[in-house]
Structure formats: structure tokens, C-alpha cells
């Protein structure tokens, strides 16, 4: 058989690029190219996507279940692994109840069918309030702000990148990250096109990033102060009578009142951005034919993350750009997701130790260390992690490292033995990506064009269970159900399918669902009942996507208000009570003196959080764990090649990189490094770096969501 090229969506970031993958006779990846016929990504690919084959072929990958006896892992059969899990979870339940078990879902669960369709079953099976995920180290403030303003935390507006005339971007660096909560393959190309058609790009960032270099204007901002800047923009829009609201809203007067004392002059003092510049930006946003404000991780993971995200969309509303072409719009994903019927409500319960709020069924990962450490009823004794590495990705990582070592039992579903999974008693590996089907259930909610693409597994499973089967069997094992066969997947699917058909009043149509297995039939049903679906006035179903393996374009974003709103009034709430209540905290912040030196993060093009450091082709070059510091600061502090950096949470010795691209008074360290501990990843160990989250402090969070604060951490820096 000659080498063959097969098509698949890249699962490695939010840009959902189409890949064309060439396999040899033994199903090994020979090469990876961008799929030129994908209507959304049009052949774009980044170094990570190009490294897909190397990731797939990494000799350090876990390929069979591992059981740890004392210090060492040994290979085991799937049945032995699941039997042990069932037995040990039963013991924890008998001794401490289900409230002593916990689950952590990491970032890649948002990129797999297994994560989308079967992780919820695992969470239900555990029947615990100890549910944690990377969301509270990431985008939760955006989802909560959207939930409060629009009634549904999945109804998140995205900048209409391809049509906007003016983009104000804060705390995002898509030239390295390829975008987030804004699914846009070839984000760099789309920004260049914006400028080429005469549009303006303004970037707000404490660093002169590659994205800032591409922009018309870059504003340095003191970390953690974006809420002051945006409030001053809101203030100006009202003060200069520039507000021009084109959608039905509540709370306009309350918003105006809340913004009254946040003048541009007040904001200047906090942000470092001149008042006249702030006024000009407000005027430009109001005057542009179309404009959008977009803010991402640099603004979410700060003390005022949720307030910031609220103000972003408040400005989009005030400038008449919400839900309007070229403004901030809502995607129309093809697959029917969870259909919520009641307005979103955060904080339905709180965490045991610190009483931090629940959101979307989760507790903040910033308190995971407390819940592991603090004795008493409800202390975590058994943990499941799926596709995550909280020791490197959550705040106070060093405490997590100790906390995990003290668990009665831990199971991890992961490709690698990493800094977190090394503590597991059992590691269950997913199969290769090319053995898994793919559909982007989550990310297409945030796409800048409506689009759908389904990829079947490119090669069959070689006796290993699918990741869906791993999660389904795990759900059965932890809840004392029969867990011996892959039938667990079909059992979950039949329940879900029956429920969806019943709700749609179509219970007699079960036999009409197409697909090679129940997972595909479930996808078919979600597509058929979706907004373009064959059972909903359109023609879309699984068959359409199988017939169009490059994906299909479903057109530009369309206005969706008021249809997508789920607020009690059916209007956009510009002044939700929980947000107004938090403004006093922001006001109090005005009195506090700014720390002389703060730490922020940064992302690297050839890296992905903690897990692409074991591929030679991806490490090295600029992909190193170094502390960026301004030469003036380094001079003043007497810092040479290495520095000692200390926060309330800990201290690290780091390699230094001088760069005037960073503001004086700010240092930047990428997260996801710190591989010196005993993992089996040989390349990563040789490029160990340090764990930035040994410095971040879990006691400081965004009050409304409990989201971790990674940007604006007070530190002192001195010579090593």
C-alpha cells in the first residue's frame, strides 16, 4: 500500500485547522500539511500542527494502563486497572462518602469528543461537588459575565474579525496562541486582512507582543488594571453622549451611575495610559462604522477578571456593535448542545474550606490545594484527573504536588506521566488522536464564521479502548456499576439519545439515526436537531459532514438577538446585580498602592501549556522558560543571567532574558514548565524550566468566579 493522505481537524488549539495527514503502511504519520480545501482554515497550519506526527510518535507516551505499586509504575491490563479503580473507589465511598471524591478536567477535554460527550457522565457518576477544571484558571470570568448579561454562559460574543473596522484587543496574543474564545484559524492572517482593508487594530498589553507589533497602536498597561481602563471608556461614552445602543437592554442608568467616578484621569493613575488616549479610544470606538472589543486570558486571570469581561461587552453594546455585523456577534453552532431553559445563576453552592462560589457546576481550581489539605468531612481522598496537569497549571502548584501525594487513591486519564499524573495509582492512556473521531462541540460556539466538520477515526483501534470507552468505563467503575466492557459507551449514548428524542417529541425516530456506532448516532442527532438540522427545517446531519470531509462553511455570523437571550426580561442586562456589587471592590483598589514589581505570564508559539515540551522539534529557540525583564529593571536590581524571584507563595531561581518589549515594573514567566521532577518525559526533563505556578498564590482570586490570578502577582526580583 502506498502512503495515503487522510483528513482530520487539528485538536491542539482552539483554531480548529484542517489537517492533511500522510500515513505509511504501518499507520505511522509521515507528514502533516494544512488542508487547503478546508473552507475555514484554507491550508493554514502552525508549528504545533506540523508537529502533530512527532507528538503521535513520542516514545515516552503511555500506551497501556499503568498501575503504581509503591514508587514504580508497571503495565497492567485494562480489566485489572478498572477492577482496582472500582475496588478502591468503593473503599473510599464506604469510609468517607461520595463527597470525598473529586475530579479535575484539563484543557484537552475541550478538544475531544470523549471530553465533550463522556466526561459529563463521569462527573455525574462521581456524584460529588468536588468538580474542578482548567476553566477557573482560564475563561470562567468571560462565561459568567456572559451568563449574567445574556442569561446563558455559552452565549459568548466574539469579534466579527473578518468584517470589523476597528478591533480593540486586550490581554490576548493570537500571533502566539492562535486565539481563544475566538475560534479563527489563521488569526494572524485575519488581523493582517483587517489592516489591509483599512481597519484599525489597537492592542493593550504590558508587553510589546508580536500581535502588538502588527497593530496600528499598542498601549502598555499595568497588569490587572484593564477594568479601570474599560470603565473610563464607558464613562467617556456617557459623558460625551456617544452611547448609541441598538439592542434592547436593562440597566443603562445603573451602568452610567457605576461608571460615574471612573474618569479617564482616575484610570490613568492605575493603568499608566494617558487620559487623553483613553478618551480618544472611546471616541474612535464610537465613530468607527463597526468596532469590537475583545479581551482574553491576560484580562480574565486577574483580580477583577469578571468585571473586565462585563465591561468589554458593555462597550460593545454602548457603541451599537453588539450583535451587529463587524461588531461582537454570536456564532450559531451546528450541533445542538445543552439547551438551558432558566437564566444562569452563579454561586448556587460554595466550596467547603474557603466558601468560594460554584459556577456551571464547578468549584474554583484555586481552592483545590485547600480541599486536599484541610481535614474534616468532605476532604478529598480520591481524585480523577482527565487530560490535565494542575501541579503546573493551577496556582500554588507546589502545594498541590504535596497534596496529591497524600491522597488515598488517584486515577489519571492522560498520554503522559507528568508532574501531576506521577501521583496517580492508575494511569489510563487514551489511544492516538488519529484513532479518535473529532468534532468541536465547544469551540464552534465561539467561531468567527459558522462552520462544521466531522472527522472519523483515521485508523482503527489496535485493541485499545477509545478514550470515550475509557471515560465511560471509568464512570461505571467509580460508581460501582459493571465496568468490564466497552458497552458502557453505548449505554450512556442510548440514555442521552432517548432523552433528546423524547424532549423533541421524536421518540419514534431512533432507527433513522445514522452512524457507525452510537457515538456517531449521537453526533447525527445533535446535528439533525441543531439550527441547520434535517429535523429542524434544514438539511444537515452526519451524512452531510461525511460527504464533505474538508468541512462545510455555514456562512458569516448572523444577528441572533433576542433569540439567544435567556435573561428573565428577555433583554441584555447591562448592570447585573452581582457585578454591580463587585464594583466597590474595584473602587477600594484605587486606594491600594500599586506593587513595585508584578509577574505576568506569556504563551509560546511552539508550546501548549504544560505538554509539548517533550518534542525536540518544538523546544529550543524562543521556546524556553525564561524570565522577561526590562533592561532598566535588571540594571537597577543588579540582575545578570539568572534571578531569584519571590512571591507570597514561593521562590524560584530563573534564567533571565532582557527585553525592552516588557514594561518596567513587570516581569513575565511562561507557565507549564518545571519538568525536573521524576516524569518519564526525557526531552522535557532536559529542558526542565521552572513552575511559574509555584509563585502564583491561590489565596488571591477573582471574587465573582474564584478564578485564579496569574497576572499582576506581586513579586520581588533580585540577583540569583
Residue numbers at the binding site for ligand SF4 (CB under 6 A)? 10, 12-13, 15-17, 45-46, 48-49, 178, 185
Residues 6+ apart with CB under 8 A from 20: 5, 6, 7, 32, 33, 34, 35, 36
Partner residues linked to 382 by β-bridges? 101, 409
Q: Please tell me the number of Cα atoms within 13 Å of 79 on its side-chain side.
A: 3
Kindly state the smallest distance separating residue 710's Cβ from ligand MGD, in Å: 4
Q: Which is nearer to ligand MGD, 224 or 320 (CB)?
A: 224
Residues 675-704 that bind ligand MGD (CB under 6 A): 692-693, 696
**601 scored as a contact of ligand MGD (CB under 6 A):** yes
In the block, residue with C-alpha cell 499503568: 66
In this structure, are residues 152 and 360 in contact, taking their beta carbons and an 8 Å threshold? no
Q: Which is nearer to ligand MGD, 507 or 653 (CB)?
A: 653
Residue 390 interface partner, choices ligand MGD, Mo ion, ligand SF4, none, CB cut-off 5-8 Å depending on type: ligand MGD
Residue 137 interface partner, choices ligand SF4, ligand MGD, Mo ion, none, CB cut-off 5-8 Å depending on type: ligand MGD
Kindly state the smallest distance separating residue 107's Cβ from Mo ion, in Å: 5
Q: Among the candidate windows 375-383, 534-542, 650-658, 706-714, which touches ligand MGD by CB under 6 A? A: 706-714
In the block, residue with C-alpha cell 443603562: 252
Residue 712 interface partner, choices ligand SF4, ligand MGD, Mo ion, none, CB cut-off 5-8 Å depending on type: ligand MGD
**309 scored as a contact of ligand MGD (CB under 6 A):** no
Kindly state the smallest distance separating residue 104's Cβ from Mo ion, in Å: 14
Kindly state the smallest distance separating residue 297's Cβ from Mo ion, in Å: 7
**386 scored as a contact of ligand MGD (CB under 6 A):** yes
**306 scored as a contact of ligand MGD (CB under 6 A):** no
**Cell numbers that stand for 561 in this block:** 438577538
Residue 566 interface partner, choices Mo ion, ligand SF4, ligand MGD, none, CB cut-off 5-8 Å depending on type: none
**Angle between helix 264-271 and 275-287 (nearest 10):** 120
Extended strands (E) in 289-333? 292-295, 328-329
Beta strands 72-75 and 66-69 are antiparallel
Rounded (5°) CA angle 197-199-200: 145
List, as one string, the DSSP characters of 388-452: --HHHHSSSHHHHHHHHHT-SEEEEE-SS--TTGGG-SEEE----GGGS-B--TTGGGGBSEEEE
3-class DSSP state for residue 313? Answer: helix
Of the residues 53, 223, 327, 437, which one makes contact with ligand MGD according to CB under 6 A: 223
Kindly state the smallest distance separating residue 397's Cβ from ligand MGD, in Å: 9
Partner residues linked to 643 by β-bridges? 654, 719
Q: Nearest to residue 647, comparing CAs of 698, 610, 604, 594?
A: 698
Residue count, binding to Mo ion (CB under 5 A) = 1
Partner residues linked to 718 by β-bridges? 644
Extended strands (E) in 565-609? 572-573, 598-600
**471 scored as a contact of ligand MGD (CB under 6 A):** no
- Per-residue x/- track, 126-155, Mo ion (CB under 5 A): ------------x-----------------
Kindly state the smallest distance separating residue 12's Cβ from ligand SF4, in Å: 4
Alpha-helix runs per DSSP H in 464-576: 467-478, 487-503, 518-529, 542-547
- Per-residue x/- track, 117-156, ligand MGD (CB under 6 A): -----------------x--xx------------------
In the block, residue with C-alpha cell 461582537: 328
Q: Nearest to residue 119, comparing CAs of 507, 587, 475, 394?
A: 475
Kindly state the smallest distance separating residue 248's Cβ from ligand MGD, in Å: 30
Q: Which is nearer to Mo ion, 423 or 603 (CB)?
A: 603
Q: Among the candidate windows 277-285, 389-397, 543-551, 552-560, which touches ligand MGD by CB under 6 A? A: 389-397
Interface positions with Mo ion (CB under 5 A): 138
- Site residues for ligand MGD per CB under 6 A: 13, 106-108, 112, 134, 137-138, 170-174, 176-178, 180, 204-207, 209, 221, 223-224, 226, 296-299, 302, 386-390, 393, 413-416, 418, 430, 467, 600-605, 607-611, 671-672, 692-693, 696, 710-712
Amino acid at each position: 500500500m502506498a502512503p495515503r493522505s487522510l483528513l482530520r481537524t487539528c485538536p491542539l488549539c482552539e483554531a480548529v485547522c484542517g489537517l492533511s495527514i500522510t500515513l505509511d503502511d504501518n499507520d505511522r504519520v509521515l507528514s502533516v500539511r494544512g488542508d487547503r480545501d478546508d473552507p475555514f482554515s484554507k491550508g493554514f497550519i502552525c508549528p504545533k500542527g506540523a508537529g502533530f506526527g512527532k507528538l503521535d510518535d513520542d516514545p515516552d507516551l503511555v500506551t497501556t494502563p499503568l498501575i503504581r505499586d509503591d514508587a514504580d509504575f508497571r503495565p497492567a491490563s485494562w480489566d485489572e486497572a478498572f477492577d482496582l479503580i472500582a475496588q478502591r473507589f468503593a473503599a473510599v465511598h464506604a469510609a468517607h462518602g461520595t463527597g470525598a471524591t473529586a475530579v479535575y478536567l484539563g484543557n484537552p477535554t475541550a478538544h475531544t469528543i470523549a471530553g465533550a460527550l463522556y466526561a459529563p457522565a463521569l462527573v455525574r457518576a462521581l456524584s460529588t461537588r468536588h468538580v474542578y477544571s482548567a476553566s477557573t484558571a482560564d475563561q470562567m470570568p468571560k462565561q459568567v459575565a456572559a451568563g449574567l448579561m445574556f442569561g446563558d454562559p455559552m452565549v459568548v460574543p466574539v469579534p466579527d474579525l473578518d468584517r470589523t473596522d476597528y478591533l480593540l484587543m486586550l490581554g490576548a496574543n493570537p500571533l502566539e496562541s492562535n486565539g481563544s474564545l475566538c475560534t479563527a484559524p489563521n488569526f494572524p492572517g485575519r488581523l493582517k486582512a483587517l489592516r489591509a482593508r483599512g481597519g484599525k487594530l489597537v492592542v493593550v498589553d504590558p508587553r510589546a507582543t508580536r500581535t502588538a507589533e502588527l497593530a496600528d497602536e499598542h498601549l502598555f498597561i499595568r497588569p490587572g488594571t484593564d477594568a479601570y481602563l474599560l470603565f473610563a471608556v464607558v464613562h467617556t461614552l456617557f459623558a460625551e453622549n456617544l452611547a448609541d445602543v441598538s439592542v434592547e437592554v436593562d440597566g443603562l442608568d445603573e451602568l452610567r451611575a457605576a461608571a460615574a467616578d471612573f474618569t479617564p484621569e482616575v484610570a490613568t493613575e492605575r493603568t499608566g495610559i494617558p487620559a487623553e488616549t483613553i478618551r480618544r479610544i472611546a471616541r474612535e470606538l464610537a465613530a468607527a462604522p463597526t468596532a469590537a472589543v475583545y479581551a482574553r486570558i491576560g484580562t480574565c486571570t486577574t483580580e477583577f477578571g469578571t468585571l473586565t469581561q462585563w465591561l468589554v461587552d458593555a462597550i460593545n453594546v454602548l457603541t451599537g456593535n453588539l450583535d451587529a455585523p463587524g461588531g461582537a456577534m454570536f456564532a450559531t453552532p451546528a450541533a445542538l448542545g445543552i439547551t438551558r431553559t432558566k437564566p444562569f445563576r452563579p454561586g448556587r453552592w460554595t466550596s467547603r474550606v474557603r466558601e468560594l462560589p460554584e459556577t456551571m457546576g464547578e468549584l474554583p481550581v484555586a481552592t483545590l490545594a485547600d480541599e486536599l489539605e484541610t481535614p474534616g468531612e468532605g476532604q478529598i481522598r480520591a481524585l480523577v484527573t482527565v487530560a490535565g496537569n494542575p501541579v503546573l497549571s493551577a496556582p500554588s502548584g507546589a502545594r498541590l504536588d504535596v497534596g496529591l501525594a497524600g491522597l488515598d487513591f488517584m486515577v489519571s486519564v492522560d498520554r503522559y506521566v507528568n508532574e501531576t499524573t506521577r501521583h496517580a495509582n492508575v494511569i489510563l492512556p487514551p489511544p492516538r488522536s488519529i484513532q479518535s473521531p473529532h468534532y468541536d462541540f465547544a469551540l464552534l460556539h465561539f467561531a468567527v464564521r459558522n462552520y462544521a466538520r466531522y472527522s472519523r477515526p483515521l485508523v482503527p483501534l489496535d485493541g485499545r479502548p477509545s478514550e470515550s470507552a475509557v471515560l465511560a468505563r471509568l464512570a461505571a467503575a467509580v460508581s460501582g456499576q459493571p465496568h468490564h466492557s466497552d458497552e458502557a459507551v453505548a449505554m450512556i449514548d442510548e440514555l442521552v439519545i432517548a432523552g433528546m428524542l423524547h424532549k423533541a417529541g421524536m421518540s419514534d425516530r431512533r432507527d433513522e439515526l445514522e452512524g457507525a456506532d452510537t457515538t456517531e448516532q449521537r453526533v447525527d442527532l445533535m446535528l439533525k436537531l441543531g439550527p441547520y438540522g434535517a429535523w429542524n427545517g434544514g438539511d444537515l446531519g452526519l451524512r452531510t459532514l461525511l460527504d464533505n470531509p474538508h468541512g462545510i462553511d455555514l456562512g458569516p455570523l448572523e444577528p441572533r438577538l433576542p433569540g439567544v437571550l435567556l435573561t428573565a426580561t428577555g433583554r441584555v442586562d447591562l448592570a447585573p446585580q452581582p457585578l454591580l456589587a463587585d464594583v466597590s471592590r474595584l473602587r477600594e483598589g484605587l486606594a491600594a498602592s500599586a506593587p513595585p514589581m508584578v509577574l505576568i505570564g506569556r504563551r509560546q508559539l511552539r508550546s501548549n501549556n504544560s505538554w509539548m515540551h517533550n518534542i525536540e522539534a518544538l523546544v529550543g529557540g524562543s521556546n524556553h522558560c525564561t524570565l522577561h525583564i526590562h533592561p532598566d529593571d535588571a540594571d537597577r536590581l543588579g540582575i545578570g543571567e539568572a534571578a531569584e524571584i519571590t512571591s507570597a507563595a514561593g521562590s524560584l531561581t530563573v534564567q533571565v532574558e532582557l527585553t525592552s518589549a516588557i514594561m518596567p515594573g513587570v516581569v513575565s514567566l511562561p507557565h507549564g514548565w518545571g519538568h525536573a521532577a521524576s516524569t518519564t518525559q526525557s526531552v522535557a526533563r532536559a529542558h526542565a524550566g521552572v513552575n511559574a505556578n509555584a509563585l502564583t498564590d491561590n489565596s488571591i482570586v477573582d471574587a465573582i468566579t474564584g478564578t485564579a490570578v496569574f497576572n499582576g502577582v506581586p513579586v520581588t526580583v533580585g540577583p540569583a
